């Protein structure tokens, strides 16, 4: 049996904490897509750590953690991340496995990413410049190198062949930067990577399932960044939705049971791209400051806005979400008034759907206004103890979305979660 936990917005929904909270109920935690552009924040013994590629179950004794074939892996970032995990006294090599089909991010992928983004000028998509897009391009173009290739004597030869192909692309961008230090780091990290348990991921995870073990598939980024269904072209390069679990881990659709969708009580977005409910005023700045809304991977200030139920309903539909987990509800504690987007006016006409290409149409969000609850909810430990005004807010979401908010995160602490 496989449960899926993924983001329903533009990423940064607080998935890391939620996976960490649920991990004890599962035997396996597996990443199925994305790369080091993910930033899942956890607090271990009161200390903050951000995981980019390692599954968020790594701090739970006896839990198997798998980096699946749908991920693109940066060996340099992984090496640094492992050192951070080891500083907490965790033997990461004991329970961390990597699928041999996982594609590698090369130094030239990072260079191409940077050159491509610079060439776009004012039309930048807001890439994290970590080589993720070019790595996925090589995967679909059947050029990429995979973790399993590390065990082959011809790896260096294959690397040089691919590097020469990449060099031609870089020359077309007139990219002149020296990446020799990146390559030096890469080959040092590759030696470190060879020490891991490299497995046939699809057989590995299906054997666990057949033995009755419970698997939690951990998503990265958010549904509105999905390469097919997100706000294209301002999207990531992978399928972030629940369908990506099947291709990113090698499991059949009927093995999936629950789909947990994570959403903030408001909305944020990093980088460029459409954001209908964005607040460019004092309220938006207040949410950013109270919520500490700065990217855990890039450090960039996040754009903030009201919760968008049209986009949320769309994400619920394409994912088959069965339960909603609302995060950072406490950030709204001091606001006198809250707004919920329950419709769009697109080119002057009222609509209740996400258009083909958001950035090509004029969208005016339609709002329902709620009175704020003006109470500190961080100490609440039952649904009954939450303010009545907050319950009204949640009840409206439940009715509109047709899927219940089952858990509410009311603070950064691991156990600051209220069951509805």
Any idea what the CATH number is for the domain that residue 174 is in?
1.10.300.10
User: What domain range includes position 130?
Assistant: 103-193
* pLDDT grade for 55, boundaries at 50, 70 and 90: very high
- Per the prediction, the chain carries an average pLDDT of 94
Dist CA 142 CA 166 (whole Å):
14
Is the residue at 360 inside a domain? yes
> Which whole number is the average pLDDT over 235-261?
97
Dist CA 271 CA 83 (whole Å):
29
Q: Is the pLDDT of residue 256 over 70?
A: yes
Burial class (CB in 10 A: 0-12, 13-18, 19+), 80: middle
- 32-36, 173-177, 235-239, 401-405: segment of lowest average pLDDT: 173-177
* pLDDT grade for 297, boundaries at 50, 70 and 90: low
Pairing of strands 303-305, 417-419: unpaired
- 354 and 307 both lie in a single domain: yes
Is the residue at 290 inside a domain? yes
- 124 and 212 both lie in a single domain: no
- The pLDDT of residue 335 is 97
Contact 27, 238 (CB under 8 A): no
Distance, C-alpha 43 to centroid of its chain: 18
Q: Is the pLDDT of residue 126 over 80?
A: no
Q: Is the pLDDT of residue 23 over 80?
A: yes
Helix (H/G/I), strand (E/B), else coil: 40? strand
- The pLDDT of residue 340 is 98
Dist CA 193 CA 205 (whole Å):
20
- 298 and 407 both lie in a single domain: yes
- 142-146, 174-178, 227-231: segment of lowest average pLDDT: 174-178
- The pLDDT of residue 295 is 75
- The pLDDT of residue 80 is 95
- 38 and 58 both lie in a single domain: yes
Closest of 242, 306, 309 to residue 280, by C-alpha? 306
Contact 290, 351 (CB under 8 A): no
> Which whole number is the average pLDDT over 89-93?
92
- 54 and 140 both lie in a single domain: no
- 284 and 401 both lie in a single domain: yes
- 312 and 408 both lie in a single domain: yes
**Backbone torsions φ then ψ of 182, nearest 5 degrees:** -60, -40
- 7-21, 261-275, 287-301: segment of lowest average pLDDT: 287-301
12 catalytic? Reply is yes
Is the residue at 199 inside a domain? no
Give the whole-number percent of the chain exceeding pLDDT 70: 98
- 289 and 163 both lie in a single domain: no
* Catalytic residue chosen out of the listed positions 3, 20, 40, 330: 40
* pLDDT grade for 262, boundaries at 50, 70 and 90: very high
40 catalytic? Reply is yes
Is the residue at 406 inside a domain? yes
* Domains in the chain, number: 3
Cα angle 193-239-25, degrees, rounded to a multiple of 5: 70
- 89 and 215 both lie in a single domain: yes
* Catalytic residue chosen out of the listed positions 3, 12, 308, 330: 12
Looking up residue 358, the CATH number of its domain turns out to be 3.90.170.10
Cα angle 206-208-209, degrees, rounded to a multiple of 5: 65
Is the residue at 198 inside a domain? no
- 281 and 178 both lie in a single domain: no
- The pLDDT of residue 413 is 87
For residue 248, CA distances in Å to 69, 103, 178, 241 come to 5, 11, 34, 11
Q: Is the pLDDT of residue 123 over 70?
A: no
Backbone dihedral region for residue 53 (phi beyond 0: left; psi -120 to 50: alpha; all else: beta): alpha
> Which whole number is the average pLDDT over 350-376?
95
Residue count of the chain:
420
* pLDDT grade for 132, boundaries at 50, 70 and 90: very high
Is the residue at 200 inside a domain? no
- 294 and 373 both lie in a single domain: yes
């Amino acid at each position: 049996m496989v449960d899926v936990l993924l983001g329903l917005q533009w990423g940064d929904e607080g998935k890391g904490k939620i996976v960490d909270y649920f991990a004890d109920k599962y035997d396996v935690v597996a990443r199925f897509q994305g790369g080091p552009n993910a930033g899942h924040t956890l607090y271990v013994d009161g200390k903050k750590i951000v995981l980019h590629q390692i599954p968020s179950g790594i701090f739970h004794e006896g839990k198997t953690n798998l980096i699946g074939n749908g991920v693109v892996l940066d060996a340099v970032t992984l090496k640094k991340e492992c050192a951070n995990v080891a500083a907490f006294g965790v033997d990461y090599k004991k329970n961390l496995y990597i699928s041999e089909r996982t594609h590698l991010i090369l130094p030239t992928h990072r260079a191409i990413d940077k050159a491509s983004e610079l060439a776009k000028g004012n039309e930048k998509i807001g890439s994290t410049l970590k080589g993720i897009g070019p790595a996925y391009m090589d995967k679909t173009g059947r050029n990429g190198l995979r973790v399993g290739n590390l065990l082959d004597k011809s790896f260096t030869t294959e690397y040089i062949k691919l590097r020469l192909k990449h060099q031609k692309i870089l020359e077309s961008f007139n990219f002149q930067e020296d990446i020799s230090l990146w390559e030096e780091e890469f080959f040092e990290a590759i030696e470190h990577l060879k020490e891991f348990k490299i497995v046939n991921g699809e057989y590995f995870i299906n054997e666990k399932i057949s033995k009755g073990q419970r698997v939690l598939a951990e998503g990265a980024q958010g549904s509105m960044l999905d390469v097919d269904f997100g706000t294209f072209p301002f999207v990531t390069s992978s399928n972030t939705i629940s369908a990506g679990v099947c291709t990113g881990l090698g499991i059949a659709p009927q093995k999936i049971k629950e789909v947990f969708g994570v959403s903030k009580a408001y909305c944020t977005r990093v980088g460029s791209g459409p954001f209908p409910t964005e607040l460019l005023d004092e309220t938006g700045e207040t949410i950013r400051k109270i919520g500490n809304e700065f990217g855990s991977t890039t450090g960039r200030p996040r754009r903030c806005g009201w919760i968008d139920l049209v986009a949320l309903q769309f994400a619920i539909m394409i994912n088959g979400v069965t339960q909603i987990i609302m995060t950072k509800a406490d950030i709204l504690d001091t606001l006198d008034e809250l707004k919920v987007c329950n419709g769009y006016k697109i080119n002057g006409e009222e609509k209740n759907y996400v258009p083909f290409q958001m950035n090509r149409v004029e969208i005016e969000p339609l709002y329902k206004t709620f009175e704020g609850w003006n109470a500190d909810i961080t100490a609440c430990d039952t649904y009954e103890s939450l303010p009545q005004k907050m319950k009204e807010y949640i009840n409206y979401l439940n009715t509109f979305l047709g899927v219940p908010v089952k858990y509410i995160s009311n603070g950064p602490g691991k156990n600051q979660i209220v069951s509805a």
